[in-house]
Structure 1
Amino acid sequence: MNCNTHGEETSYRIRPVINDTFSKYDENLHNISNLIHQYREIAFEEHKSSKLLTDFLVQEGFIVEYGIANLSTAFVATYSNSNNSQSGRTVSFNSEFDALPEIGHACGHNLIAIAGIGAALAVKQYLQEQQTNGTVKLFGTPAEENGGGKLHLVNAGYYKDVDMNIMAHPSQNSGAFVPYRAIAKLEVEYFGKLAHAAIAPWHGKNALDALVLAYTSLSALRQQLHPLYRLHGIIVNGGRSANVIPDYSKGIFMIRTPTVNDLLNEFKPRVIQCFLAAANATGCEVKITEKGINKDVKINSILAHRYESYFSGIMNTKLLPKYEQERMSSGSTDQGHVSYAVPAIHAEFAIPTENQQGPHTKEFERATTTDEAFQQTIKASKTLASVAIDFLEDDLFAKSVVDEFKLSSTSDTTTTQS
């Protein structure tokens, strides 16, 4: 391995212990991925998937704590090696395993699950063979899609005992600098007054009009939005009969910005004003409920560069430069909360799909069970393990990671809930 703190323009080779570990567990990882894909368990209901993972981890010598942060399907698996009074550093990974309603594992969480497990197994094997002081933890994080499982773990203090946390997600692209935005989910309800739409409409207060007016106002707001801001929503209740002035309407909206500060201090207040103005214009009452916030992923560039150096080496190809990745459209993830607690990355690795379709499509769901997707996942998992081992054994690299995190940390102490 060449020593370069940032990893730029440097080729890194995968350690033999990592390759040997993945050769040993290839069939196990394949089976686990396929079973989780078959289970299709949605947020907070991933009981079979969680048991599958924890049973395997216990079998392989990890100590597992179940039901952490009061989430029945969450867990943390730990392996520690200490030869003396010094315990060494602690590295960690995440395994996600929840599916989407109706379309199953169209976000590839079955692959994320084995990427985390594979990396943890490889680091465990390294610690055993090298008799190195250190600890590896694997967090089982449920409900990424609809519930922000990682936020519960962060708030319960489970990431306080780790020095870094890294994970990888299947996608259309490969890289460690793809941005993940902060997001808020807002539920808006309007309460009006029923009336017969033909006989006496003047007696009514139209809750649907209020919601439509709010929707139209938000559409107009888009003209003045920063290009990296996103706003989308749906009407889920607009009345039941065309000849009745509806007294109730409901919409769900999501707003996204590059950082959580942009979200809370600039964008969200403007959206709220649109909701309030629509209520005033129609004489309706309005109730706005925040259904959850995910922070943006604060990418640790030292970890990201090192990840890309290994991944480009194992793929024998160059990745898109950082500035091009930063211009990509992207979603949001509860890994953002983790990245504000400890040095972290949320890397992407490309898997082949029909018609180049991305996550949350039927094509992507089918792609997550292919041999090609499995092999790409293994490469990403080997990369995660390599970065973690570097962090355990390279004092300068570890210090650079931590120093950047401290420098980038802000005084933002906003409490968010999912």
Structure 2
Amino acid sequence: MKDKISNIIDSLSDKLKEIASKIFDYAEIAYEEYKSSDELAKFLEENGFEVQRKVGGLETAIVGKYGSGKPIIAFIGEYDALPEIGHACGHNMIGTISAGAAVALAKLGILEQNQGTVMFIGTPAEERGTGKRILLDAGVFDNVDAALMIHPSSETAAFSDSFTVEHYKVEFFGKPAHAASKPYEGVNALDAVNLFFTGIALARQQLPERIRLHGIVKVGGQAFNIIPEYTMAEIGIRTLDDETQRKVTERVKNIAKGAALMTGCDYKMELLTTVKRVLSNEPIGKSLEENFKLVGEKVTKRTYEKGVGSTDMGDVTHAVPGIHGYIGVTKGKEVPGHTHEFAQCCNSTEGYEAMIRATKALAMTGYDLFSDPELLKNAKEYFEKTSKK
């Protein structure tokens, strides 16, 4: 049966490469993925899926369904690009891989013989870490039995590590004054934001390993001859466990408070988004690992030491059994994501061949979940055990 899956995807390969290439060229950023989501929606409709658009109140979210009843196996799509550098995270491939896997299972015919539903969930704005959270809150994942996706990378891996991340806006409020004639009448909000980032930099040497603090100043003042009345920064706090996250966040809040006190400013710190760490489902991951090997991939383990980020797929894996695998698209070379070089890999002949292998492995893993009730049972038991920790 897996040979048949492979053959089906081979027959779809030209179309899948065309879709991924178009999405690459569209390079639509978060919540503006109109053409990209439409490409995937049309592909699903052409292959017998019932497609719902504008799901969960999001203009570019789509859900495609084929079959009926349980189990419901969902393939997760992403398709947002980064500002300025486009698809330097390979999201042009993610939605294509998941849509291709979903269509392959529909064409396989197993859902005509047995009850079950193949689902494609197209999720906007992964780069903002918000799309999947909104769809979770809207109930889109409520009846899903397992959620699967594969992300481009420098190496192939079935299991992933990732950071929890909290994204904050930090504002400082001072008092304007003429910077030349009477600067002493002002309260300098720029001094406050500078002290805030100095405090962050100095705190790093006392923080435990495996913590990331990084941010930018988005508003630093309006004119060089005015004492800045208002400044605003954004900062991301990333850790690998909830307790550390709580402690580090408290430290950052105290640094903001201290910067305000030192300068006489008022301040406000607002949580914008939060994303949970990926909870990799071991039974599903082992199935994906075997299927990667079956299609000729050399499988490695993606660890913190090799570099990890954050993804709103983490929130999904805390709601349903899930996996966030990786496919190497860089011909064995280590190429960092979010770079022009990685973007080129995600629109290359070799990259698209890897994408097709990933589509096969993902479809085969979905097939395993449909055809082996014991695997799905084990996945749910593993989820119940690990999600309660």
The 1:409–1:101 alpha-carbon spacing in structure 2 relative to 1, beyond 3 Å, is same
Q: Give the alignment of 1:329-368 within 5 angstroms.
A: 329-352=307-330, 356-368=334-346
1:285 aligns with 2:266: yes
Give the aligned residue type for 1:289. Answer: E
Q: In structure 2, what is the Cα distance between the partners aligned to 1:354 and 1:314? A: 16
Matching residue within 14, 30, 34 for 1:27: 14
Q: In structure 2, what is the Cα distance between the partners aligned to 1:30 and 1:290? A: 39
Q: In structure 2, what is the Cα distance between the partners aligned to 1:237 and 1:395? A: 55
Q: In structure 2, what is the Cα distance between the partners aligned to 1:38 and 1:230? A: 32
The 1:237–1:347 alpha-carbon spacing in structure 2 relative to 1, beyond 3 Å, is same
The 1:316–1:186 alpha-carbon spacing in structure 2 relative to 1, beyond 3 Å, is closer
Give the aligned residue type for 1:388. Answer: G
Aligned to 2:383: 405
How far off is 1:103 after superposition? 0.9
Give the aligned residue type for 1:142. Answer: P
The 1:67–1:261 alpha-carbon spacing in structure 2 relative to 1, beyond 3 Å, is farther
How far off is 1:405 after superposition? 0.1
**Cα pair 1:120 1:137 within 8 Å, conserved:** yes
Matching residue within 277, 288, 292 for 1:307: 288
Aligned to 1:182: 164
SS at match of 1:388: helix
**Cα pair 2:240 2:277 within 8 Å, conserved:** yes
1:396 aligns with 2:379: no
TM-score by length of 2: 0.95
Unaligned runs of 5+ in 1: 1-13, 82-86, 412-418
Aligned to 1:146: 128
Q: 1:40-68: per-residue Cα shift (whole Å, max 9, x none)?
A: 11111111111111112111100111111
Give the aligned residue type for 1:39. Answer: Y
How far off is 1:328 after superposition? 2.8
Dislocated runs of 4+, deviation >3 Å = 127-130, 240-243, 259-262, 353-356
1:294 aligns with 2:275: yes
Q: 1:191-240: per-residue Cα shift (whole Å, max 9, x none)?
A: 11112333322211111111111111111111122211100111222223
Moved more, 232-241 or 136-145: 232-241
SS at match of 2:200: helix
Matching residue within 263, 270, 275 for 2:256: 275
Aligned to 2:363: 385
1:136 aligns with 2:136: no
**Cα pair 1:150 1:338 within 8 Å, conserved:** yes
**Cα pair 1:21 1:121 within 8 Å, conserved:** no
The 1:188–1:137 alpha-carbon spacing in structure 2 relative to 1, beyond 3 Å, is same
Q: In structure 2, what is the Cα distance between the partners aligned to 1:272 and 1:126? A: 54
Give the aligned residue type for 2:104. Answer: A
Give the aligned residue type for 1:93. Answer: F
1:155 aligns with 2:137: yes
Aligned to 1:84: none
Root-mean-square deviation (CA, aligned residues, Å) is: 1.8
TM-score by length of 1: 0.89
Q: In structure 1, what is the Cα distance between the partners aligned to 2:273 and 2:11? A: 41
Unaligned runs of 5+ in 2: none
Give the aligned residue type for 1:150. Answer: K
Give the aligned residue type for 1:226. Answer: P
